[in-house]
Chain A
Amino acid sequence: MAEVIRLEDIMKTYVMGDTILHALNHVHLEVTNGEFMAIMGPSGSGKSTMMNILGCLDRPTSGKYYLDGKEIAGYDDDELAQTRNAKIGFVFQNFNLLPKLTAQANVALPLVYAGVPEDERMERAKQALVAVGLGERLDHKPNEMSGGQRQRVAIARALINNPAIIMADEPTGNLDTKSSYEIMDIFKAMNNEGKTVVMVTHEPDIGEQTKRILVMRDGQLVSDERR
């Protein structure tokens, strides 16, 4: 199996006055293609920092990060932006859809920055929405949809540019139980089709549904369990 993510001795350090906080402390991690992994841990355990670094939103203080075989620690902001655009699909707890755009336009947004022409963008966005069961709601604005539907729009957006990895940050955190399970079913289906999914969650029953659970505490990986 090909390696998608490889972290080597990653440190992320914040200096606050005279206290030094190691949000990530000597983290080593490998994620192979097709894995479905949950990162769990209490608040302040460093899982959000982990997510930001894995998602190329942030740079580690030291260490090496290979994404899809490329060392990206030295990338500048624009290179990171292009990497996010091409390799990573984000799903957020609070959906992060643009309220003034329709579902279709929201899904098509990453393709704008990938330089895909408008006709093709809209066609691909339509197909992606149909795939998550929202073929009837192309022209709806986010505030006209339920939480579960919004998260499905966000998933369609994450998938649109065919990324190497899906990063989901508490994707079920704002959803009721029924919607949560529906969303998890979509993730499972994606994973069965070969997508790599990394998810941050603090809900054990959500974590249970993945194939690999990573537990963090005080910036360190304390357990790594494959099922």
Chain B
Amino acid sequence: MFNESIKMALEGMVANKLRTFLTLLGIIIGVGAVIAMVSLGFGVKEQVKNNISRLGSNLLIVQSGGRTATGARIQAGSGARLTYDDAKAIEKSVDDALYVAPMVSKGYQVVVGNQNWTTNVQGAPPNILDIRDYTVEEGRNFNNRDMTSRTRVCVIGKTIVDNLFPEGDPVGKTMRIGKAPFTVIGVLGAKGQSAMGQDQDDVVFVPLTTAMNRLMGITYVNNITIQAKNENVVDSVQGEVEQILRERHRIKAGGDDDFTVRNLAALMDTMMETANTITMLLGCIAAISLLVGGIGIMNIMLVSVTERTREIGIRKALGATYHNILLQFLIEAMVIGVVGGVLGVLLGVASSYGISKFAGWNTVISVPTIIIAVVFSVGIGLFFGIYPARKAALLDPIDALRYE
């Protein structure tokens, strides 16, 4: 009986080609729009995620100085000191920390020949380039040997090159930082402005030990930058870091921290929430068109029931029960839902590709979205088919046979 009904439904659809096509179109566009819009929304989300990751959503920055101290608070970065040993302890004990980079920085005038430029010189271990997402364009980064032997080498950004080496090709040349001569060993790839408006190419990196001992003459570090393995473990890494530092700094339970740990996860959360809202909004708008498509199914089914009143009467006279007729019309509505859903998926996927190819927007097609859209369209076929199918099944055979 079920196979019969499917066969009859398909035959009926083929017999009314134009009408079937127009009804299908409503569902096709609805499903296609849902998939394309949600893909676009996911694309936006992915983009935001990448952008924030580039900013460093998994970065933690530890600075000395507490933020919860009572009384007069001293400026962050002054007061009790963070040390290189603190950083080493964190690196040793926190498994989810990918990189740990203690840093020092100070403003200096840097000079090459008759050119000079004032910038912030940063001392850090070699992994700082990975943490900050820099690439070495020319030359090389400094390494651990440079760290242990405290060599006077530096890696510089594009802005420094533009200002101090107008003729280019700075690798191997000497640059004075303050009064000390340093050899330029690498040039960083351009990164442009940061989200905060800072020129990320106006940088000079030197080995941490060189900076502490041979440039600035200090025994502490200004801050420790920690990169967690991913966004999800940022909070646990932060907890572990705080605990290690409290132990090392001998802070009693209940005592205020003498350091501050900051992260960008809060920013990430806000941005993701925004992206989710966009996805929801796009999806809702598209879902409305799917709903309209469903109403189209109902409309056509009602017309079909009226038009086929006599057929229903004949079938009932020949022995079709309530369920036989109900099933026949429900299956017709569902076949429209299924066929429209499948074609809609094709349209949705195709337009997602089209959008990313021609408009250049990021789209991410997600399989759950496709499944939900198809299930939803079949459900819509079913929901909007029930009323007309019931109407058909409840027809009185005598009245239906008399219908002209």
Residue numbers in A under 8 Å from B315 (CB-CB):
109, 113
A85 at the interface (CB under 8 A from B): yes
Q: Is the CB of B322 within 8 A of A112?
A: no
From B11, B313, B314, B319, name the one whose CB has the most chain A CB atoms within 10 angstroms.
Answer: B319
Least CB separation from A114: chain B residue = B319
> Which listed residue, A58, A85, A115, A118, touches B318 by the CB 8 Å rule?
A85
**Per-position binary interface string of chain B over residues 294-337, scored 1 when its CB falls under 8 Å from any chain A CB and 0 otherwise:** 00000000000000001101111111111110000000000000
Asked whether any CB of chain A lies closer than 8 Å to the CB of B22, the reply is: no
**With A57-B397, A112-B4 in contact, is A78–B317 under 8 Å at CB?**
no
- Other-chain residue from B15, B319, B321, B401 in contact with A96 (beta carbon distance below 8 A): B401
Asked whether, in the complex, the Cβ of B310 is within 8 Å of the Cβ of A113, the reply is no
Binary contact track A94-127/B, C-beta < 8 Å → 1, others 0? 0011101000000001101111001000000000
Q: A58-B398, A82-B319 are in contact. Are A113 and B11 (CB under 8 A)?
A: no
Task: Check B253 for interface membership: any CB of A closer than 8 A.
Answer: no
* Distance between B87 CB and nearest chain A CB, rounded to angstroms: 80
Smallest beta-carbon distance B282→chain A, Å:
42
Say which size band chain A's interface belongs to: 20 to 34
Chain A, Cβ-Cβ closest to B1: A115
CB of A52 closer than 8 Å to a CB of B: yes
Interchain CA distance A97-B324 in the complex, whole Å: 18
| Chain B interface residue bracket vs A | 20 to 34
Tell me the complex Cα distance, A55–B397, Å: 11
Query: What sequence of 0s and 1s flags, for each residue 139-169 of chain A, a beta carbon within 8 Å of any chain B beta carbon?
Result: 0000000000000000001000100000000
- The verdict on A36 contacting chain B, using a C-beta distance below 8 Å, is no
- Let me know if B322 and A77 touch, CB within 8 A: yes
Task: Kindly state the separation between the CA atoms of A92 and B322 in the bound complex, as whole angstroms.
Answer: 22
Give A43-62 as 1s and 0s: 1 = Cβ < 8 Å from B's Cβ atoms: 00000000010010110000
Across-interface contacts of A85 in B (CB, < 8 A)? 318-319
Q: Which residues of A contact B311 (CB under 8 A)?
A: 98
Chain A positions within 8 Å of B316 at CB level: 81
The answer on a CB contact under 8 Å between A57 and B398 is yes
CA distance A55 to B319 in the complex (A): 11
Q: Do B322 and A84 have beta carbons less than 8 Å apart?
A: no
State A118–B8 Cα separation when bound (angstroms): 13
A86 within 8 A of B: yes
Interface residues of B in 19-37 (CB under 8 A from A): none
Residues of chain A within 8 A of B318, CB atoms compared: 84-85, 90, 109-110, 113, 157
The answer to whether B317 and A90 have CB atoms under 8 Å apart is yes
CA distance in complex: A121, B4 (Å): 12
Q: Identify the closest chain B residue to A161 (Cβ).
A: B319
Closest residue of chain A to B320 (Cβ to Cβ) is A113
Distance from A225 Cβ to chain B, minimum over Cβ atoms (Å): 29
Q: Separation in Å of the B96 CB from the closest CB of chain A?
A: 65
Q: Which of A58, A77, A81, A98 contacts B314 (CB 8 A)?
A: A98
What chain B residues lie within 8 Å of A58 (beta carbons)?
A: 398
Main DSSP-derived SS at the B contact region: helix
Distance in angstroms from A134 CB to nearest chain B CB is: 19
CA distance A84 to B320 in the complex (A): 9
Binding site secondary structure of chain A? helix
A58 CA / B316 CA spacing, docked (Å): 12
A81 touches B1 (CB 8 A): no
Interface centre among B313, B321, B322 (most CB of A within 10 A): B321
Contact of B319 with A86 in the complex, beta carbons under 8 Å: yes
Within B237-252, which residues are at the interface with A (CB < 8 Å)?
none
Q: Which residues of B contact A78 (CB under 8 A)?
A: 321-323
How many angstroms between the C-alpha atoms of A161 and B317 in the bound complex? Answer: 13
Q: Contact: B319 with A113, CB < 8 Å?
A: yes
Residues of B within 8 A of A100 (CB): 11-12, 15
Max chain B C-beta neighbours (<10 A), residue from A52, A100, A110: A100
Question: A10-54 toward B: CB 8 Å interface, digit per residue (1/0)?
Answer: 000000000000000000000000000000000000000000100
Which B384-404 residues have a C-beta within 8 angstroms of A? Answer: 397-398, 401
Q: How far apart are A154's CB and chain B's nearest CB, in angstroms?
A: 10
* Complexed CA–CA distance, A86 and B321 (Å): 13
Contact between A57 and B317 (Cβ–Cβ < 8 Å)?
yes
Taken together as a complex, chains A and B put the C-alpha atoms of A98 and B320 apart, in Å, by 14
A96 with B314, Cβ < 8 A, contacts A57-B397, A85-B319 known: yes
Interfacial chain B residues near A57, Cβ < 8 Å: 317, 397-398, 401
* Beta-carbon nearest neighbor of A51 in chain B: B398
A170 to B296, CA, bound (A): 41
List the 4 closest A-B pairs by CB distance, nearest first. A85-B319, A113-B319, A78-B321, A110-B318
Residues of A within 8 A of B (CB): 52, 55, 57-58, 77-78, 81-82, 84-86, 90, 92, 96-98, 100, 109-110, 112-115, 118, 157, 161
24 A-B interface contacts by CB (under 8 A): A57-B317, A57-B398, A58-B398, A77-B321, A77-B322, A81-B319, A81-B322, A82-B319, A90-B318, A92-B401, A96-B310, A96-B314, A96-B401, A100-B11, A100-B12, A100-B15, A109-B314, A109-B318, A110-B319, A112-B4, A113-B315, A113-B321, A113-B324, A157-B318
Task: Given contacts A55-B317, A109-B315, list 9 more A-B pairs with CB under 8 A.
Answer: A57-B317, A58-B398, A77-B321, A81-B322, A85-B319, A90-B317, A112-B1, A114-B319, A157-B318
